């Protein structure tokens, strides 16, 4: 991946650490485990935009455009994990 204009060295280091982690785990985690990690990472971004770097709108002053965008990604990640969880349950039910 190339560096985007304005990216800080800290952001690049975090991205590189995440990429290294994922590459080291290629054979280990299954689809559901990856979905859980994805949801947890996006939740961290969401919490950051809400509590540590709020965007200024809404009743609480924490409802900015970044939070809305990250919230949509978080909701999609959560829905994906829930879908996989339901599939796992269905598979286990048919085996029993």
Give pLDDT tens digits for 61-91: 667 788 889 999 999 999 999 999 999 999 9
Q: Which residue from 79, 70, 72, 76 is spatially nearest to 51, judged by alpha carbons?
A: 70
pLDDT tens-digit series, residues 29-56:
688 988 998 999 999 989 988 888 766 6
Place of tokens 């085996």: 95
Nearest Cα to Cα of residue 46 among 20, 31, 22, 64: 64
């Amino acid at each position: 991946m190339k560096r985007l204009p304005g990216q800080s060295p800290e952001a690049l280091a975090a991205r590189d650490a995440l990429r290294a982690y994922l590459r080291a785990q290629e054979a280990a985690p299954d689809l559901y485990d990856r979905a859980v990690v994805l949801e947890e990472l996006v939740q961290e971004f969401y919490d950051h935009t809400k509590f540590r770097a709020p965007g200024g709108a809404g009743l609480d002053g924490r409802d900015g455009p970044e939070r809305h965008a990250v919230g949509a990604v978080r909701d999609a990640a959560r829905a994906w994990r829930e879908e996989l969880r339901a599939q796992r349950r269905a598979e286990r039910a048919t085996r029993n």
